[in-house]
């Protein structure tokens, strides 16, 4: 069975976490919600509460096939948490499929993944994405090898279609 990590942090964008979470389960993947602390409850920017399954420092990225980074305010908080950044870098190093939407690029910037890649993100993160070495494309979904990126919640159908295409 294929396995996916969906990152979780306070301030996540509700649909950018729940839509991939349930779509991946529908596709037959085992999906772990991973945050800095296991069993802690995290709250979305709209008040939805979700409990983390596992802590980032408990995870071996090589046991997974996919890492999803939802947007919202969570990625900016995650990028300063060593265990989360280390997990994402391990996922990059292990060539997992990395699917990042909206502000998720803020966390990717902390890795060496973006250099020379084509990607997209929420428009306010564009300069940061480009400064990290990526070529910004204003498209609903951009796929560059194992990296899938999208701009905002309206892009979720295309985002998940391309992510699942790489997985299955």
Q: Which residues are catalytic?
A: 102-103
CB 24 within 8 A of CB 162: no
Distance of CA 95 to the CA centre of its chain: 14
Per the listing, tokens 């993160």 go with: 125
Report the distance separating Cα 103 and Cα 142, nearest Å: 15
Query: Helix, strand, or coil here: 60?
Result: coil
CB 47 within 8 A of CB 75: no
From residue 44, how far is each of 94, 96, 159 by CA, in Å?
29, 26, 20
* Structure-block tokens of residue 21: 């979470």
């Amino acid at each position: 069975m294929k396995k996916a990590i969906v990152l979780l942090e306070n301030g996540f964008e509700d649909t950018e976490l729940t839509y991939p979470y349930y779509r991946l389960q529908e596709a037959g993947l085992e999906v772990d919600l991973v945050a800095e602390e296991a069993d802690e409850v995290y709250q979305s920017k709209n008040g939805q509460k979700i409990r983390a399954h596992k802590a980032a420092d408990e995870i071996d990225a090589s046991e997974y096939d996919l890492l999803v980074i939802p947007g919202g305010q969570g990625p900016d908080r995650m990028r300063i948490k060593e265990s989360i950044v280390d997990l994402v870098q391990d996922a990059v190093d292990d060539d997992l499929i990395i699917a990042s939407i909206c502000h998720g690029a803020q966390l990717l910037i902390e890795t060496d993944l973006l250099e020379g890649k084509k990607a997209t993100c929420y428009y306010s993160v564009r300069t940061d994405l480009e400064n990290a070495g990526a070529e910004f494309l204003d498209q609903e979904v951009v796929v560059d090898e194992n990296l899938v990126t999208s701009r905002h919640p309206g892009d979720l159908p295309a985002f998940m279609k391309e992510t699942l295409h790489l997985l299955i």
